[in-house]
């Protein structure tokens, strides 16, 4: 069964460093997403991406964050200068429009980011 894959599974970084989290969405999907979950808190929406541009973003997704689809398969989230509060599990998701007209999201297993 096709799945969304994410790398790395866990990254530890120093505050102020740049981090790139990588995702390979399901191959025929057109919509891509990043969510994050701070330990013990809700899963929060960060950004959605369609047709090579951001289609929606939350207040969390400030100028420190950027997304890119550098080739036909990868979808990346970059955090330019990490802060302690960026420590979280970051989930990538992708979707296609299903027969009900809904976008059913398929999530990866997450990348745990620890900022020291």
Partner 1 sequence: GEDVEQSLFLSVREGDSSVINCTYTDSSSTYLYWYKQEPGAGLQLLTYIFSNMDMKQDQRLTVLLNKKDKHLSLRIADTQTGDSAIYFCAEKTGRRALTFGSGTRLQVQP
Q: Which residues bind partner 1 (CB under 8 A)?
A: 4, 33, 35, 41-45, 48, 55-56, 58, 91, 93, 100, 102, 104-110
The nearest distance, CB 37 to partner 1, in angstroms, is 8
The nearest distance, CB 4 to partner 1, in angstroms, is 7
Using the minimum distance from each CB to partner 1, give the nearer residue, 18 or 104. 104
Question: Does residue 25 contact residue 32 with C-beta atoms inside 8 Å?
Answer: yes
The nearest distance, CB 102 to partner 1, in angstroms, is 6
**In angstroms, rounded to a whole number, what is the distance separating the alpha carbons of residues 12 and 47?**
23
Using the minimum distance from each CB to partner 1, give the nearer residue, 18 or 85. 85
The nearest distance, CB 16 to partner 1, in angstroms, is 28
Question: Does residue 96 contact residue 83 with C-beta atoms inside 8 Å?
Answer: no
Using the minimum distance from each CB to partner 1, give the nearer residue, 14 or 21. 21
Tokens 């999530």 belong to residue: 107
Give the other-Cβ count within 10 Å of 21's Cβ: 24
Find, among 42, 15, 43, 2, the residue nearest to 115 by Cα: 15
Using the minimum distance from each CB to partner 1, give the nearer residue, 79 or 93. 93
Sign of the CA dihedral 94, 11, 87, 67? negative
């Amino acid at each position: 069964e096709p799945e969304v894959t994410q790398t790395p599974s866990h990254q530890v970084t120093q505050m102020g460093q740049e981090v790139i989290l990588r995702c390979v969405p399901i191959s025929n999907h057109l919509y891509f997403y990043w969510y994050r979950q701070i330990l013990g808190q809700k899963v929060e929406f960060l950004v959605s991406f369609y047709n090579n541009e951001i289609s929606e973003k939350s207040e969390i997704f400030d100028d420190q964050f950027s997304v890119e689809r550098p080739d036909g398969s990868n979808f990346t989230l970059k955090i330019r200068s990490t802060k302690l509060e960026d420590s979280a599990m970051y989930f990538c998701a992708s979707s296609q429009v299903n027969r009900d007209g809904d976008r059913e999201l398929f999530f990866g297993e997450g990348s745990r980011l620890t900022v020291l």
